[in-house]
Each structure stands twice: as structure tokens, then as C-alpha cells.
Amino acid sequence: MMASGFAGLGYQIVWTQQCALWLGHETAAVLAVVTAFFGGLALGALALGSRIQGSARPERWYAACEATIAVWSVVLALLMAPISGWVLDLTGPQPSPAWQWAVAFFGTFFVLLPATAAMGATLPAMERVMARLDREGRSIAPLYASNTLGAVVGVLATAFWLVPELGLARTAGVCAAFNVLCAIAALRLSSGAVTRAQPNRCPRAHKLLMQLAITGLLGIGYEVLVVRVLSQVAENTVYTFAMLLAVYLIGSALGAASYQRWLAGSRDADKLRDRLLCLLAAACLLGTASLWAAELIRNAITQGFDAGMTSALTAEAAIALAAFGLPTVAMGALFSHLGTQASAAGIGFGRSLGFNMLGAAFAPLLFGVLLVPSLGPKVALLLVAAGYLALSSPHGWFQPLGWGTAGSAIALALWAPPLVFIDVPEGGRVVSYREGSMAAVSVVEDAAGVSRLRIDNRQQEGSSSSLLADSRQALLPLLLHPAPKRALFLGLGTGVTASSAAADPALQVDAVELLPEVIAASTHFTRELSGDTPNPRLHLMSADARRFVRATGQRYDVIVSDNFHPARSGSGSLYTVEHFQAVRERLAAGGVFCQWLPLHQLDLDSLRSIVRAFVTVYPAGTAMLATNSLETPVLGLVARAGTDRFDLRQVRERLAVNTLPQRLGEFGIADEFALLGGFIAGPSALARFAGDAPRNTDDHPVVAYRAPRITYAPDSLPRERLLALLRELSIAPAELIDTGPDAAAPARLAAYWKARDRFIEAGQHVRPETDLQHLLSQVREPLLDVLRISPDFRPAYDPLLRMAMALGRSDAAGARALLEELQQAQPARPEAGQALGQRTAESP
């Protein structure tokens, strides 16, 4: 039973990852797989339980079920790609929420059904086998505890070792091997026929079955709600979900074992049931109350240990233990007791298990999709506690534990704040907050008026202070295309990137965003660009990016993929070989694809895997920087369909015909050198950088399991990773562009790149300074050296010009000297000469 539990929860981790590929978000995948699991378990237990109950050879049933699980898991491993394509086609590029959730739940249910139904029959089959070894007692608590303990090991081993090392398909193969061994071991238990169980149904059977179903609904509902709340406190990675699930299962196993040790054989079964129900209601209230202190618990643990992944995971385990500890122990004991009562009432174990799992199957839909967005997590959690209390008899209600729990629930409902976690800086305010079925989205403004968009309070999707950088992430790839007519943006964030593109009257823009709440929140950031009037050229679509790319038939001149946080739920699947291949199919002839990557949220090893996946599909791909920022560096992987190099003549013509409302110079793209000067790697350098790093694929999601490490325990600063990257990469003008008759352009472009690298290196030594003279002493010579390398490099010229103008108010001679040096370093720029002339005219 332990081995079977290991395999079962190993499959759940694997199938959740695989289903996320067509559902787009790991939260949706978790809800769908949990529903499919419990629905299949219920169907298997109910459909086969009675036949197993009457069988003289239950070990054969058990062996057949384990073999079925093994076979179907192998089938899924081999056919998951075509099955995923079929589900994507069925869902469509822009499904309605009702259709999307219907396909998510029912599609996943039917895909997993052969295996999950067989899983549902294994427990009643093993219970009948064990009846031979223990003729006097029929408690299923030891089986339940053993199976659950194996499940804990399966969750942790799968998430922390098997999938990162072996990938999804081979991990499923390991679980299938366990199933085969279980089947063989069960057949070896055979020692003759088992007496057929004769059910003797008592009048209370229907009430017991209803209690089993409702407790299954409430138990998984509590799990869904707590996981959802803690996603705003924990880091919300693949390890977070595994840790929460492991703690939940450990508590259930301890509860079942405790029941067997101390409570089995109680003389008054009904009184014990009422006590357990009231105890569970009280435990759920205590677990709910602990959620308000989750941030304090996490901070206390992380501050008490050295920074690292171990301390971060320990903190996540601690907040999970506070929320799940007592409730899950009580749940394990209650299920064991209800199962024992049902057995005494003549109800076969398969039927008991089936009703319990049937109730559990409805929990993700009811609590995760319906109640959280409509009522909020606090009210939904209080309803769980109230549900357990309502199942008790009136005798239990009037006991101190019963009325005390009821009073506490009312007090929490009336006076406790909502279970909402929003980090608001001192002097700041919450602009908006939206609770959706997959995530909570907030916009927070600080005292300086800077607004930030956050998902689940942990993931920042942009801010009003990065409008220039966000706009550049649209304009750079668009300007690399000679005449784009239609563009696709995968991921919306603040909406500034897509809105900047849609400002071009000659361009139609499709922007795909998974979370409707992000689309609604983006209007706060785009008002500065488009006002309150919607742009008719910007088409916002609530859909999954992977699914949209696979399902749409539209082709695009430019496709821009947002810089998704690689460690967060489902984001790693947007950096796989398969997704890059799907994007390539959507590019029109000569189309440009740019995949932005947040280097400030990404370690170099994970980056190597992403780059290797990219160059597998686009061997002529290049890399560029969105800006020269040291604190939030963003790297772009760029590819073109049908051609390897850009044409300098076309680039100049494209820049000359600017149809945007603003001048391109306002975005730092004044000429062809400013546009092309952001490139840092050619095809050969990217291939060398990727080396033999494991490719990030759908089957081997390296990034999803590796990227969280830098989130839990950063081992370097973003600027350090940027500088290390620049030292490893290189590019030659001939790799990037055909300069035609302009013989001077290659040398000027190479000088620009050298100046850029020197500029970034010099920036790492600059410290914040309010005194102008002190600041100037830090940057004057480094920036002038940069200008001497490349007169075309404007980013070093502009800050020195501003400082010279400010210096003129207190030190006219110093300002004049600096302006003269600027004029000498970049004679083609008129600003320094004009300022000198103005000062000469103003002097007496």
C-alpha cells in the first residue's frame, strides 16, 4: 500500500505538470487534476467495489488494477503530446470561461480515467486481501495510513528528485514499475479463496454515505482554499505545491494511525463521531486563524536561519503545518472512523471510499472556481468549519467544543479582516484588488506615486516607473521588421508594451493574457498612453499564450513574448522547445520573434537551458538587451523567419518612416546604431553559451525546477549576472546585418557595442549620490572614456550634458570645461556646442 501510494501521488505531480501545458496555469492544472483524480477514484471504487466485495480472489482484482494503472501511465507518457494537441484544439484559442473550465475538468477527467478508476479499486481490493490476515478486525485505518505515508514520499521524491533528473515521462515509468511490483506482490499474498463478504445493510447506511461524501467535499475544499491563500505568502513554485501537499498527507496519515492506536473500538461510535466532527471544525478554525500569521511565521524562520533554499522551504513547511497540522490529523481520524462505522453497517469499503471521493471531486470546482472569486477565501474557509459542525448531531452542538467553535466562527466572520495579503509600502495605498479563480491581482501605489502590478502579492508584473523600458520591449522588435502590419504579444503585464505598439496607426495588435484580472488592472497603467478611450487597434484577449499560439490560424509579422518570471506557476512552459516551435509556425515570411527574459529573476544555468531550447528551434538566433539597466536587466532572444541577417538599408528606411505619436529619440532609439546597439550575441556565441546544458522541454521542464533556487536564495546580484553574461557573449557585425555599400558601418557598430559594454561596467561602480560634484567625480571620466570609444553612443552623452547644465548654476567654469569635453568627444552632437554658445552670449 505504501508503494501504491508513492506511485499514485507521483502520477499526480507528473500529470499536473503535463496538464498545465494545455491549461496554461498550474493553479488550473492542480484543480483539474485533483478533480480528475477524485472523480476517477470515486468511479472506480463505486463501479468495482461491490464486485470486489463479493469476489473470492480479491488479490487478483488488486493485481489487475495495479497493472491497468501501469499500462495507462505508459500510454499517457507516449501519447501526451497528441492528447495535449487534441485538448488544445477542443478548447480553442479564445474560449469562454465556462467552456475553458468545462474542458479543463472533463477533458482531464477522461484522459486520466482508466488509471484513476483503477486506483479507486485498489483500496477496497487490498482491504479484502488483508481481511484474510486479520479475521477479527475490519478497520481500514492501517491501510489508509500506509497508503498515505507512501504518497508523502512519492510527492517529495517526485518533485525534488525524479522529475528534475529524469523528466516527466521517465518519472511516470518509475511509478509504473512500482505498480507492476505491487501487482506481483499482491498475487504472492494469495493463499486460497477469501470468504465472500455478505453485505448486511442497516437503516443508517444512507446517512453514513452522505456524511462520507460531505466530509470528502469539505476536506479537499479546505486544502484548495489554504493552498490558494498561502500562494500569496509562499513563493508559489513547483516545490511550494509539493511541500503543502506533503504536509497535508502526513497529517492525514497520522490521523488514521492515531485512530487505529487509540480510538478504534470505541463503545459509543456515534458520540465519537460527533466529537471528531466538532474537533475538526475547531481545528479548521485554528488553521484558518494561523493564515493571518503566515507572513510572521515565514519571516521568523527565514530570519532565524542562514539565507538559502533550505530555510525558505522550511518556512513554507512551517506555514503549511500551522494551517494543515491539526485539521488533517482530525480528517484522517474522522475518515477512518466513518469507514469503520460504514463497514459495521454493512457498507462495503469500495462504496464508502467511492462516496468520500465523489464529494472530494466537486471541491475544486465549488471552492476554487466559484466560492473564492465570489465570497473570498475567508468566508469560504469559515463555511468549511461550519459544514463540519453542521454534520454533528444536536448533542454535539451544545457541548463546549461545539458552541465554542460556533461562537469563534461568528467572531471571525464579523471582525477578522479578509484573508488578503498585499505588501503596501509606508505612505502607500492599494489602488485596486481583484480575486480571480486562478490568482489575486493587485495594484499598489507608493508614497512617490509609483504604481506596481502584482500577482498573488509575490510576482511583480511591472510598474509605472518602467514605462520607458516597457515601451522599448515593443518598439525594438517592431523596428527590426521593415513593415509590420500585425503583431502578437504573449503576456500583457501592465499593458504598456502592447499599448506602445498599438500607438502605430499602421499596426494591428493582438495581446493575449491568461488572467482577466490583469487585463482589468492594466488600464491603470495605460491611461498615460491612450487615455480612457480604448484603442481600436489593440485587441486584448483572455487566453493562455501556449494554447493561443497552438490553436490560432493567424500569422504575424512580429511576435513578442513577455519576460515571464521563470520560477512562477506555469511560466517555465513558455520557454520550451515545443513552444518555440509553435511560435515559429505562427510567423509570417520575414517575421520577427523576440522572447524577453528577466535576467534579474533568472540564474545563468537556467538561462543556458532556455537558450539551448531557443537555438534548437532558431539556430540563427541572436540576443539583445532591452535597456542598459544594471538592476533590472532584460535579455531578448531574437529570431527571423526565412532570413538570417537584417538589412541596414531597410533598418534606416524603417526608422525614417516613424508613424508613432512620439519621436523615437524619446525612447532612446534615435538612429540605427541605437537600435542595433543593443545586440550582445550572435548565433555562434549563443550556441557556445548554451553548450551542453539540458534543453528545457515539455517532458523535461528543467527551468520550472531549477529557476526557483535563485528565487528562494539569490546567490548573486542582477548586475553581476549581467556582467558575467557579457563576458561570455560576443557578436560580430557580419553576423547581424548586411551593411551593403556602407563600408564604415561595421566598424561604427562594433565601436558602439564596445562602448556599451564599457558603459555598463562603469555603472557597477557608481553609488547613489545627492551632491552633484561628488556624483560628477564618479562618472565624469568613465563616461568620457566611453564617448571616446564611440561618438555614436548617446547614453553616455546625455547624462553628462544634464549634469553640465545643472553645474552651470554653481560652477560656470566647471560647466564650460565639461561642455567643451563633450563637444570634443562627440562633435556630431549639437547640444554641447549650443549650450556653450548660450553661455558665451549670457556672460558679461
In this predicted structure, the answer to whether residue 87 has a pLDDT above a threshold of 90 is no
Closest by alpha carbon to 385, among 283, 255, 244?
A: 283
CA distance 556 to 538: 14
Query: Higher confidence at residue 804 or residue 217?
Result: 217
Strands 451-455 and 459-463: antiparallel
Q: Is 183 exposed, middle or buried (0-12, 13-18, 19+ CB in 10 A)?
A: buried
**Tally of residues, the chain:** 844
Q: Do residues 618 and 585 lie in contact, with contact meaning Cβ atoms separated by under 8 Å? A: no
pLDDT digits (tens, 9 = 90+) for 369-397: 999 999 999 999 999 999 999 999 887 78
pLDDT tier at 623 (50, 70, 90 boundaries)? Answer: very high
DSSP state of 446: -
Phi, psi of 322 (to 5 degrees): -60, -40
What DSSP line would sit under 350-402, residue for residue? HHHHHHHHHHHHHHIIIIIIIIHHHH-HHHHHHHHHHHHHHHS-HHHHTSHHH
Strand, coil or helix: 829: coil
Sign of CA dihedral 26, 28, 34, 39: negative
Identify the pLDDT of residue 84.
83
Residue 199 confidence class, pLDDT cut points 50, 70, 90: low
All cell numbers assigned to 810: 554653481
pLDDT of residue 133: 56
The answer, yes or no, to whether residue 637 has pLDDT greater than 70, is yes
**pLDDT given at position 567:** 85
pLDDT exceeds 60 at position 200 = no
Per the CB < 8 A criterion, the answer to whether 281 and 173 are in contact is no
Q: What percent of the chain has pLDDT over 90?
A: 63
Torsion of Cα atoms, 821 then 825 then 827 then 828, to 10°? -130
Q: What pLDDT score was predicted for residue 480?
A: 96
The larger pLDDT score, comparing residue 799 to residue 165, is at: 165
What cell does 240 get? 511550494
- Using the predicted structure, report yes or no on whether residue 313 has a pLDDT greater than 70: yes
Stretch 292-300: mean pLDDT: 94
Average pLDDT over residues 417-434: 94
Taking Cα atoms as reference points, which of 254, 255, 9 lies closest to residue 152? Answer: 9
The pLDDT of residue 83 is above 90: no
Which pLDDT score, from 0 to 100, does residue 136 have? 44
pLDDT over 90 (residue 842) = no
Q: Are 328 and 287 in contact (CB under 8 A)?
A: no
**pLDDT at position 317:** 94
Compute the distance between CA of residue 790 and CA of residue 676 in angstroms, rounded to an integer: 14
| Statement: residue 839 has pLDDT above 80 | no
Q: How far is CA 70 from CA 75, 180, 469, in A?
A: 9, 7, 51
The overall average pLDDT reported for the chain is 90
Phi, psi of 307 (to 5 degrees): -60, 135
Q: Which of 79-83, 508-512, 555-559, 839-843 is predicted least confidently?
A: 839-843
Distance CA 99, CA 320 (A): 33
Cα–Cα distance, 62 to 20 (Å, whole number)? 31
Other beta carbons less than 10 A from residue 843's beta carbon: 8
224 vs 110: CA distance, rounded Å = 22
Which of 565 and 725 is assigned the larger pLDDT? 725
Question: Whole-model pTM?
Answer: 0.92
pLDDT for residue 26: 60
User: What's the half-sphere exposure (Cβ side, CA atoms, 13 Å) at 327?
Assistant: 29
Beta partners for residue 462, in sequence order:
453
Average pLDDT of span 531-546: 89
Q: pLDDT tens digits for 331-346?
A: 999 999 999 899 888 8
Is the per-residue pLDDT at 139 higher than 60?
A: no
Asked if pLDDT for residue 231 goes beyond 50, the answer is: yes
Q: Mean pLDDT across the stretch 444-473? A: 90
Give the other-Cβ count within 10 Å of 345's Cβ.
20
Beta carbons of 143 and 70 less than 8 angstroms apart: no
Write out pLDDT tens, residues 346-358.
Answer: 888 889 989 999 9
All cell numbers assigned to 750 = 562594433
Mean local confidence (pLDDT), 819-830: 85
What pLDDT is attached to residue 198? 53
Q: Report d(CA 753, CA 730) in Å as an integer.
A: 9
329 contacts 253 by C-beta, under 8 angstroms: no
Do residues 610 and 500 lie in contact, with contact meaning Cβ atoms separated by under 8 Å? no
> Rounded distance, CA 266 to CA 162, Å?
43
CA distances from 439 to 320, 422, 677 (A): 19, 13, 38
- Reading the block at residue 580, the C-alpha cell is 518555440
**Count of other CB atoms within 10 angstroms of residue 117:** 23
- 547 neighbors 584 (Cβ within 8 angstroms): no
3-state DSSP helix/strand/coil % of the chain, to nearest 5 = 65, 10, 25
Sheet containing strand 538-542, strands side by side = 538-542, 508-513, 486-490, 556-561, 587-598, 634-640, 622-625, 679-681
Report the C-alpha gap between 542 and 545 in whole angstroms. Answer: 9
Grid cell in block for residue 78: 507516449
Q: 230-244, 267-281, 771-785: lowest mean pLDDT where? A: 771-785
